[in-house]
Chain A
Amino acid sequence: MEIRRDVFQAIADPTRRAILTLVALQAMTAGAIANDFDSSRQTISKHVQILTECQLLIQEQSGREIYYHINAKKMKEVADFIEPFRNMWDDRFNKLEAIMKNYKPKK
């Protein structure tokens, strides 16, 4: 029986989100991805498979190696492309504001 995988199910898992964060920076082989985790290669390979099945990752053959890179188009289904980046800075600046409102200069 084929299990239907959707994007939201895929990103609900912290390891899979960590994999996406890694691959977002550069295309990587499954082995290289696994090296960044303490989990077994099989576990990571399973996560990569799920991310590929729901098209968040795309496979690209380069010689004998298969590289995985992020599918920006699919990611856009999850969220607007730029909004999370803005949110990230908004969070940081909210924090800055809160910290500085309580700031007491040292004597």
Chain B
Amino acid sequence: MEQKTKLNAENGKQEYVITRDFDLPLELLFKAFVEPELVAQWMGTNVLKLESKKHGSYQFETKDAQGKVAFRANGVIHELIPDRKIIRTFEMENAPVGVQLEVYEFEKDTDDSSKLKMHVIYESVEKRDQVLQYGLVQGINWAHNRIQEVVSHLK
């Protein structure tokens, strides 16, 4: 099966681009990025605050099973054009990767399908690589969790 999400991260650059085609009308895709309860569901995090407007800010927090904060992130929205574009900053708290600039572009394909382009820029090449590396470890975590899920269903 062809993978719907594509990642372009060239060597030695401080940015990457993620593109994805969705079987969703443009309006529904955009809604998933601006409604706090929807963001919480697909990002798998608590949304403490999300002001979906120009100069608005947001804050995410995830706790582990013991109630300890495992992940906290925040940022400011610089531009929000409904069904077209979001420009925001994103900063993971207690992580030395700095602030990243994210440009989301939403585009209609057909009445029932749409496209997302996510352009993410870091302060340096090193910081971008660190984030990609973090994904590597997370990826292993999740792959294992999924294997465990599948295995537990077999029992």
Residues of A bordering B, CB below 8 Å:
11-12, 14, 17-18, 20-21, 24-26, 38, 70, 72, 75, 78-79, 81-97, 99-101, 103
Contacts and interface: CB of A to CB of B under 8 A. Distances in A.
Contacts of B5: 86, 89-90, 93
Given A25-B96, A81-B132, A100 B24 contact: yes
Given A88-B139, A89-B7, A100 B31 contact: yes
Nearest to A78: B140
B9 A82 contact: yes
B91 to A, nearest CB: 13
A20 B140 contact: yes
Given A25-B97, A88-B135, A93-B22, A99 B42 contact: yes
A75 B142 CA distance: 15
Contacts of B38: 99-100, 103
A41 B142 CA distance: 26
Nearest to B3: A90
Interface residues of B, number: 40
Given A11-B140, A24-B133, A88-B135, A101 B4 contact: no
B144 interface: yes
Interface of B: 3-7, 9, 18, 20, 22-24, 28-29, 31-32, 38, 41-44, 66, 95-97, 116, 130-144
Given A17-B144, A96-B32, A96-B42, A86 B7 contact: yes
A101 B23 contact: yes
Contacts of A101: 23-24
Contacts of A20: 137, 140
Nearest to B132: A85
A99 B43 CA distance: 11
B134 A25 contact: yes
A84 B138 CA distance: 8
Contacts of A100: 22, 24, 28-29, 31-32, 38
